[in-house]
Structure 1
Amino acid sequence: MTLPMHTTSTGFLLPSIHSAPPFFTQQPNPATQATLTEYWTKLILSYARFRRLFTLRVEDAETTGGDWDEVLRNPRINRKLPPSHLQYIISQMVTKDLAVHEPAKQTRSVLLYWRLPEEWAEVLHEWASSTGQLNTIMTFYEIVEPPIPSELSSLPISLLKKVIVILTKTARAQVIAVADGEGVRFLPGTPGR
């Protein structure tokens, strides 16, 4: 029996494993659970990228009609991911540096790395170069809420700060104090310098 793939109302194509009832149940066999966790991780990160979602909370498994409803539930087979299982998946994602607890010092909410901070650093520097922002001081707000939407639109400030640290280490950015708090000057340096 082959399981069907399904396209959600937002246009995301769910993999066929999403139609398998055991996919929504924590498995007693460690090898089986590791495989399912890997599938869940890929599904969560690809969906987050598709929808531009940056945060996942354990409570999302209990929230009907939320941003994650299409992935964490499958009404066609009457299954949903229990919060305890989502908590386990989140912990594994953090262990593999694919997410980080946000805010820190709690374990129920994460910032997802559907792009690693190093990848975001390249996106940010390329954006600064292509939009003529090199050697210009910009506030963090101007970067994440630009007048013309970009790949950086709505990027969480905590992630932006990590990305800027990466750019400062390669001499491609400099943090500057501005009236509203912090800003950054992008420099034309080269990657990996």
Structure 2
Amino acid sequence: MSSIFGNNILGNNATLVGSSSSTAPSIFPPLYDFPPFFTRYPNASTWTAQRAAWSSLILAYCKAHKLWQLHLSDALETELFHNAALGRRLKHQDAVEVLEFMAKEGQVDWIDESNKTGVNVWWKKPEEWGSVIFDWIDSTGQKGSVLTLYEIAHGDLTTAQEFHGMEEGMLKKALGVLVKRGSAQIFGSGEEMGVKFF
């Protein structure tokens, strides 16, 4: 059975479909319509492949819907973890195990490590987000300028940017990459926190 959870889980037949409950598109692989996909396999190697398939789906879904965080209690009720047409859903504990697997891969990090109730979703790694932000700064001629975190994540100038709406903690982590590269300096705190780009 492990072949059904192969590396190319989105496959060539993956489609971008609209949900009847939302206007944002989401990506569902053919595997999503396979009832056993929602049941944890007892075989360790198959469960590893199944977690990898779930990881790919979660990343694709969050990217398509521009979701920065998943809160488990809410997410388990959505189409991501619940296929209403099949009457199947991933169990809470299985979802936690999938997210733990993703955390080990650097695809998510727990918002609260002790409670494990939600995650930040990294559909791009912090290093990639740092580069995307820096490329935008460079292409818009803003090197040498100071911007607040709000301006970067929620400002009018970034509405067309992929990082628009990014959660503050995630933005700080991505900007931290630029600080380490010597491309940015963060100063101030709270709402007065600013970033200067070099």
Report the TM-score range of the alignment, normalised by the length of the smaller protein: 0.7 to 0.9
TM-score (norm 1): 0.86
> Where does residue 186 of structure 2 map in the other structure?
175
> Where does residue 50 of structure 2 map in the other structure?
36
In the aligned structure 2, how far is the partner of 1:178 from the partner of 1:101?
23
For the pair 1:102 / 2:116, whether they are aligned, the reply is no
Distance apart, 1:5 and its partner CA: 6.3
For the pair 1:47 / 2:56, whether they are aligned, the reply is no
Distance apart, 1:129 and its partner CA: 1.1
> Where does residue 33 of structure 2 map in the other structure?
19
In the aligned structure 2, how far is the partner of 1:30 from the partner of 1:178?
46
Runs of 4+ in 1 over 4 A off after TM superposition: none
> Where does residue 159 of structure 1 map in the other structure?
170
Which letter maps to 1:108?
T
Task: Rate the CA distance shift 1:179–1:107 in 2: closer, same or farther, 3 A.
Answer: closer
Contact 2:26 2:64 in 1 (8 A): yes
Which letter maps to 1:143?
I
In the aligned structure 1, how far is the partner of 2:33 from the partner of 2:185?
49
Distance apart, 1:104 and its partner CA: 4.4
Aligned equivalent of 2:86, options 77, 81, 84: 77
Distance apart, 1:8 and its partner CA: 3.9
CA deviation vs aligned residue, 1:14-63 (integer Å, no higher than 9, x gap): 11111111100111111111111000000000110111001112213543
Which letter maps to 1:49?
K
> Where does residue 138 of structure 2 map in the other structure?
129
> Where does residue 7 of structure 2 map in the other structure?
none
Contact 1:61 1:80 in 2 (8 A): no
Distance apart, 1:169 and its partner CA: 1.0
Q: 1:12 aligns to what SS in structure 2?
A: strand
> Where does residue 9 of structure 2 map in the other structure?
none
Task: Rate the CA distance shift 1:30–1:74 in 2: closer, same or farther, 3 A.
Answer: same
In the aligned structure 2, how far is the partner of 1:57 from the partner of 1:179?
24
> Where does residue 151 of structure 2 map in the other structure?
142
Alignment length, in residue pairs? 179
Task: Rate the CA distance shift 1:24–1:8 in 2: closer, same or farther, 3 A.
Answer: farther
In the aligned structure 2, how far is the partner of 1:159 from the partner of 1:96?
16
Q: 2:79 aligns to what SS in structure 1?
A: helix
Q: Which ranges in structure 1 are unaligned for 5 or more consecutive residues?
A: 64-68, 188-193
Q: Which ranges in structure 2 are unaligned for 5 or more consecutive residues?
A: 1-12
Identity %: 28
Task: Rate the CA distance shift 1:169–1:99 in 2: closer, same or farther, 3 A.
Answer: same
Contact 1:100 1:111 in 2 (8 A): yes
CA-based RMSD of the aligned residues comes to 1.9
Which letter maps to 1:99?
V
